[in-house]
Amino acid sequence: MRNIVTVSVLVFVLLLCSSNTLEYRKAYKVRTVVIDAGHGGKDVGCNGKASHEADVALKLALQLGKLIESNLPDVKVVYTRKSDTFVELIDRAGIANKNNADFFISIHLNSGPSAAYGTETYTMGLHTSQGNLNVAKRENAVILQEDNYKENYGGFDPNSPQSHIMFALHQSAHIDNSLRLAQKIEREFKHKVGRSSRGVKQAGFLVLWKSYMPSVLIEAGFLTNPSEEKFLNDKANQSYMASGIYRAFKEYKLELEAMN
């Protein structure tokens, strides 16, 4: 009799634990996203003929945040900056970590030959081409404007390929979810916004290295291409771009919550 009671109690506890686990999984929500407008303040980023990366990135970031706030009220939106201010890379990631963000989205604009065009979305990882490395080196070079950057980034040298390689595996725990959103963003840009997509890529970005959650860095186009600069500075087109990122994020959110 005692054995029967013991087994019954054990079964009850297991069922209770299983029920609680299911309830926890069903209750999982993407609650916080941090939106990072690249550069700002003394760091203008790359330049077009009439615009700066920092300004265009901020406009895209604010529009994206507004769409999420208006249409996904259960998601808290945190910005690394909402004005033309300089924020160190380590502090941008720190904002995401402090707020226990479920996702970190960093928005940038690209530079290159005047004929270069198209969008790219990066996740943290090993750059597989010289072009990927060059983008990472350019975006990481901002730390040279920061105080105590050698101490903050463990002696990182933005001009050294070896320094970038050392970060390649840091975000391996989040790579699947990072790639999932990156792919959705590029698909939206290509099929819904009508942009030319250069694809999903990986490289060693410091701002992603220091963030402890799934993260992407979006290069929304080339300011050094006259046609793209004109497109990216048009308010309607900025809205289309922000809407594409929003739709990708919403789809990612719903899929992730359904899986859990």
> Can you list the alpha helix ranges (DSSP code H) found in the chain?
2-27, 53-71, 89-98, 130-140, 149-152, 161-165, 175-191, 206-209, 226-232, 235-259
Closest-CA residue to 118 (of 48, 56, 196):
196
**Cα–Cα distance measured from residue 260 to residue 187, given in angstroms and rounded to the nearest whole number:** 24
Question: pLDDT tens digits, residue range 42-80?
Answer: 999 999 999 999 999 999 999 999 999 999 999 999 999
**Cα–Cα distance measured from residue 83 to residue 55, given in angstroms and rounded to the nearest whole number:** 9
Strand partners, 11: none
Given a cut of 80, is residue 236 above it in pLDDT? yes
216 residue type, one letter: V
**Cα–Cα distance measured from residue 171 to residue 188, given in angstroms and rounded to the nearest whole number:** 24
Q: Which architecture does CATH list for 30-259?
A: 3-Layer(aba) Sandwich (3.40)
12 residue type, one letter: F
Stretch 217-235: mean pLDDT: 98
pTM to 2 decimal places:
0.78
pLDDT averaged over every residue in the chain: 83
Residue 223 per-residue DSSP state:
T
> Higher confidence at residue 27 or residue 219?
219
